[in-house]
């Protein structure tokens, strides 16, 4: 491993917590600093097992604040920047934090990283930058960027900003664009954990529109392995797509979850569609396979079964989340939607 001390931002979130855990095991002796604000999506319980490790340091701070960024980057020679507002539906309800954290926060991290002189800066982008693709297209890294939600636009703005730092400042940045992740510790606002936990509670699952929107799903630890490989061996200035390999409709995901939890079709509630709902995401991931030899190692079916099992046995993790402010969010997001569909 060519780095001594990595700063991971957003390390108390879903993907970030898996990445911190992976970094501590994959790179023995390497120090890991986690910069996280602990928003509604950040959760110290996600990394309870790493807390006392001498190589691990947690800094509670805001990527929008230069002083916090510099404090976290003290002594670091690499950055993996994940901290973001990450949920499309929330960006439709209110997008201020998406703009400040995702765009300005990335700018602050870039500036702080330049000051400190890090040797690698990996920006974790998303396939949503390509927008909705018609069959049979799959976006490679040259495909035009056509974001269609406030979330996607904020990620695209930051993605482009990172690219300008490479060309303008000769800054050693790289970018990954991943498809939809799933796995343990995912906040129950995204499709899979929301549906699994609703079904475990004996509630219905709100399927948007006709349920035929297509997403490519990747197991979270496969994504984290890819981030590690790109940090270790990726070419500076390059973008790497990464995904699970094929698209599935939301209805297919829903049917698998229903089967996995012994529920029937009556548990589905078709609700009003998401405004501007992207119909289909599809990625061409040949480049990362060809150049870096990465490919996902988990089968979708086995990973989904393991994920269902994790939520079944970890009520202690998600039940406290699905109370309080979450209830208000759920009502705001789904209350009128369900009524409109009937």
Q: Are 20 and 47 in contact (CB under 8 A)?
A: yes
Bridge partners of residue 7, in order along the sequence: 33, 79
Contact code string over 7-36 relative to ligand NAD, x by CB under 6 A: --xx-xxxxx-------------------x
Q: What are phi and psi of 201, to 5 degrees?
A: -85, 0
Residue 37 engages ligand NAD in binding (rule: CB under 6 A): yes
Instruction: Quote the CA–CA distance of 316 and 3 in Å, as a whole number.
Output: 36
For residue 16, the partner it binds in ligand TYD, ligand NAD, none, with Cβ less than 5 to 8 A by kind, is: ligand NAD
Which C-beta is closer to ligand TYD: that of 81 or that of 280? 280
Dihedral angle sign, alpha carbons of residues 185, 188, 191, 192: positive
Instruction: Quote the CA–CA distance of 113 and 104 in Å, as a whole number.
Output: 14
* Helix (H), strand (E) at residue 130: none
The residue from 36, 68, 85, 128 that is catalytic is: 128
180-182 and 5-9 beta bridge pairing? unpaired
310-339 binders of ligand NAD (CB under 6 A) = none
**Residues binding ligand NAD: number (CB under 6 A):** 30
Those residues with Cβ within 8 angstroms of residue 84's Cβ, 6 or more apart along the chain or in another chain: 10, 98, 101, 102, 105, 124, 154, 155
Dihedral angle sign, alpha carbons of residues 110, 53, 37, 176: positive
Residue 106 engages ligand NAD in binding (rule: CB under 6 A): no
Q: C-beta of 134: minimal distance to ligand NAD in Å? A: 21
Q: Exactly one of 33, 132, 156, 180 binds ligand NAD (CB under 6 A); which one?
A: 180
Those residues with Cβ within 8 angstroms of residue 237's Cβ, 6 or more apart along the chain or in another chain: 163, 166, 167, 173, 174
The beta-carbon contacts of 317-322 under 8 Å, at least 24 apart in sequence, are: 317/45, 317/185, 318/188, 318/193, 318/197, 321/43, 321/187, 321/188, 322/188, 322/197, 322/201
127 catalytic? Reply is: yes
CA 30, distance to chain mean position in Å, is: 24
Question: Residue 30 is encoded by which pair of tokens?
Answer: 């390497």
Q: Which residues contact ligand TYD (rule: CB under 6 A)?
A: 88-89, 180, 190-191, 194, 206-208, 213, 215, 250, 274
Residue 126 engages ligand NAD in binding (rule: CB under 6 A): yes
Q: Are 103 and 85 in contact (CB under 8 A)?
A: no
The residue from 143, 151, 240, 270 that is catalytic is: 151
Q: Exactly one of 79, 83, 88, 174 binds ligand NAD (CB under 6 A); which one?
A: 83
Contact code string over 191-210 relative to ligand NAD, x by CB under 6 A: --------------------
96 catalytic? Reply is: no
Give Dmax (Cα) for the chain: 58
Give me the residue whose beta carbon is nearest to ligand NAD.
13
Residue 42 engages ligand NAD in binding (rule: CB under 6 A): yes
Residue 282 engages ligand NAD in binding (rule: CB under 6 A): no
Which C-beta is closer to ligand TYD: that of 194 or that of 303? 194
135 catalytic? Reply is: no
Q: C-beta of 144: minimal distance to ligand TYD in Å? A: 19
Q: C-beta of 170: minimal distance to ligand TYD in Å? A: 33
Those residues with Cβ within 8 angstroms of residue 21's Cβ, 6 or more apart along the chain or in another chain: 47, 49, 50
Pick the stretch among 78-86, 226-234, 292-300, 313-321 that binds ligand NAD (CB under 6 A): 78-86
For residue 158, the partner it binds in ligand TYD, ligand NAD, none, with Cβ less than 5 to 8 A by kind, is: none
- Residues with a known catalytic role: 127-128, 151
The residue ranges that bind ligand NAD (CB under 6 A) are: 9-10, 12-16, 36-39, 41-42, 62-64, 82-86, 101, 105, 124, 126, 155, 178, 180-181, 187
């Amino acid at each position: 491993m060519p780095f001594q001390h990595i700063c991971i931002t957003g390390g108390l979130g879903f993907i970030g917590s898996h990445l911190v855990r992976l970094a501590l095991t994959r790179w023995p002796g390497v120090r890991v600093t986690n910069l996280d604000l602990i928003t509604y999506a950040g959760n110290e319980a996600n990394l309870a097992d790493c807390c006392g490790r001498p190589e691990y340091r947690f800094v509670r701070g805001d990527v929008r604040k230069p002083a916090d960024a510099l404090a976290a980057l003290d002594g670091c020679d690499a950055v993996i920047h994940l901290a973001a507002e990450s949920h499309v539906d929330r960006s439709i309800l209110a997008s201020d934090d998406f703009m400040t954290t995702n765009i300005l926060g990335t700018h602050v991290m870039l500036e702080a990283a330049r000051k400190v002189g890090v040797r690698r800066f990996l920006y974790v982008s998303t396939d949503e930058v390509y927008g909705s693709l018609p069959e049979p297209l799959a976006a490679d890294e040259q495909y035009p960027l056509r974001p269609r939600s406030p979330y996607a636009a904020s990620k695209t703005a930051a993605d482009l900003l990172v690219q300008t730092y490479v060309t303008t400042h000769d800054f050693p940045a790289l970018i990954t664009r991943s498809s939809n992740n799933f796995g343990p510790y995912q906040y129950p606002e995204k499709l899979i954990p929301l549906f699994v936990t609703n079904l475990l509670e004996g509630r219905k699952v709100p399927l948007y529109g006709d349920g035929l929107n297509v997403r490519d799903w990747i197991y979270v630890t496969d994504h984290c392995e890819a981030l590690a490989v790109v940090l270790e061996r990726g070419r500076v200035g390059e973008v790497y797509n990464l995904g699970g390999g094929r698209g599935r409709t939301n209805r297919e995901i829903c049917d698998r979850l229903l089967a996995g939890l012994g529920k029937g079709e009556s548990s589905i509630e078709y609700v009003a569609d998401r405004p501007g709902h992207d119909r289909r995401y599809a990625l061409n991931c040949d480049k990362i396979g060809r150049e870096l030899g990465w490919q996902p190692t988990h089968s979708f079916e086995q990973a989904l079964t393991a994920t269902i099992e994790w939520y079944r046995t970890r009520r202690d993790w998600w039940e406290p989340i699905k109370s309080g402010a979450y209830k208000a969010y759920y009502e705001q997001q789904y209350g009128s939607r369900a009524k409109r569909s009937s």
